[in-house]
Amino acid sequence: QVQLVESGGGLVQAGGSLRLSCVASGRTFSRYGMGWFRQAPGKEREFVVAISRSGGSTNYADSVKGRFTISRDNAKNTVYLQMNSLKPEDTAVYYCAADTSGSYYGPKYEYEYDYWGQGTQVTVSS
């Protein structure tokens, strides 16, 4: 069983920045591919970014490429999402997810993740 706890969400003006954190329980965090997803009101949850177990490989959605940066600190069981140049369309609940299957790369699809956090709200005002 893996528990994921996100933090760092909030209200920010367009053009601003936020850093989200996701702390995982357990002692095998370095074996998990990790991802961030988001769900805006009235829309389906969508992929944002994923990172491999070592942090050496990342995969970004086109909508956030160049503005968001994912990183991880395996010693702290934590994955981060640095969000810069935020836009109103980035408003959503952001979820982190863990893939414990042993795959090296962080997956892109929801069904490949088996643990999810409770989400943290990000609101970007215009």
Q: What is the pLDDT of residues 3-59, one digit of tens each?
A: 999 999 999 999 999 999 999 998 899 999 999 999 999 999 999 999 999 999 999
Confidence at residue 96, expressed as pLDDT on a 0 to 100 scale = 98
- pLDDT per position as a tens digit, 83-124: 999 999 999 999 999 999 988 888 999 999 999 999 999 999
Please, are residues 71 and 124 in contact by the beta-carbon 8 Å criterion?
Answer: no
- Statement: residue 72 has pLDDT above 90: yes
**Is residue 30 a contact partner of residue 73, using CB atoms and an 8 Å limit?**
no
DSSP H helical segments within the chain, as ranges? none
